[in-house]
Amino acid sequence: MNAPMTKPLSISNPHTPFDHPEFDGHEQVVFANDTASSLQAIIAVHDTTLGPALGGCRMWPYANSGEALTDALRLSKGMSYKNALAGLPMGGGKAVVIADAKTQKTPEMLVALGRHIDRMAGSYITAEDVGMSDRDLEIISTQTAHAGGTKARGLGNPSPYTAQGVYMGLKAAARHKFGSSNLKGLRICVKGTGSVGATVARLAHAEGAKLWVADVYKPNLERMVNELGATQVETSEAHKADVDIFAPCALGADLTPKTIREIKASIISGAANNQLASPDDGEALHQRGILWAPDYVINAGGVISIGLAKPGDTDDTYVRQQVDAIGDTLTKIFDRAAKENQPTSLIADHMAMEIIAAGKDKKAMTDA
Ligand code: NAD
- Among 130, 90, 167, residue whose Cα is nearest residue 324: 167
Strand 187-191 versus strand 210-214 pairing type: parallel
Percent of the chain topping pLDDT 70: 95
Torsions phi, psi for 309 (to 5 deg): -75, 145
Ligand 1: atom nearest CA of 158 is: 40
pLDDT at 14 > cutoff 80: no
C-beta of 164 in contact with ligand 1 (< 6 A): no
Would you say 85 and 329 are in contact if contact means Cβ atoms under 8 Å apart?
A: yes
**Taking each helix axis from N to C terminus, what angle separates 326-340 and 344-367, rounded to the nearest 10 degrees?**
110
- Atom 39 (ligand 1): residue with closest C-alpha? 159
Model pLDDT, residue 130: 87
Q: What is the mean pLDDT of residues 279-292?
A: 97
- From the CA atom positions of the chain, what is the Rg in Å? 21
- Rounded Cα gap, residues 193 and 199, in angstroms: 8
Pocket test for ligand 1, best of 161, 196, 259, 306 (most atoms within 8 A of CB): 196
Q: Where are the beta strands (DSSP E) in 179-326?
A: 187-191, 210-214, 231-232, 245-248, 267-268, 291-292
| pLDDT tens digits along 350-368 | 999 999 999 999 988 888 8
Would you say 247 and 212 are in contact if contact means Cβ atoms under 8 Å apart?
A: no
CA triple 329-331-335, angle to 5 deg: 120
C-beta of 299 in contact with ligand 1 (< 6 A): yes
Would you say 50 and 270 are in contact if contact means Cβ atoms under 8 Å apart?
A: no
- Rounded Cα gap, residues 297 and 225, in angstroms: 29
Strand partners, 60: 98
Helical spans, DSSP H, in 238-325:
257-262, 280-287, 295-298, 301-308, 317-324
- Among 25, 54, 84, residue whose Cα is nearest residue 329: 84
Strand 267-268 versus strand 245-248 pairing type: parallel
Model pLDDT, residue 47: 98
Would you say 94 and 79 are in contact if contact means Cβ atoms under 8 Å apart?
A: yes
- Rounded Cα gap, residues 48 and 287, in angstroms: 35
Q: What is the pTM of this model?
A: 0.91
Most confident range, picked from 9-18, 52-61, 359-368? 52-61
C-beta of 193 in contact with ligand 1 (< 6 A): yes
Ligand 1: atom nearest CA of 272 is: 32
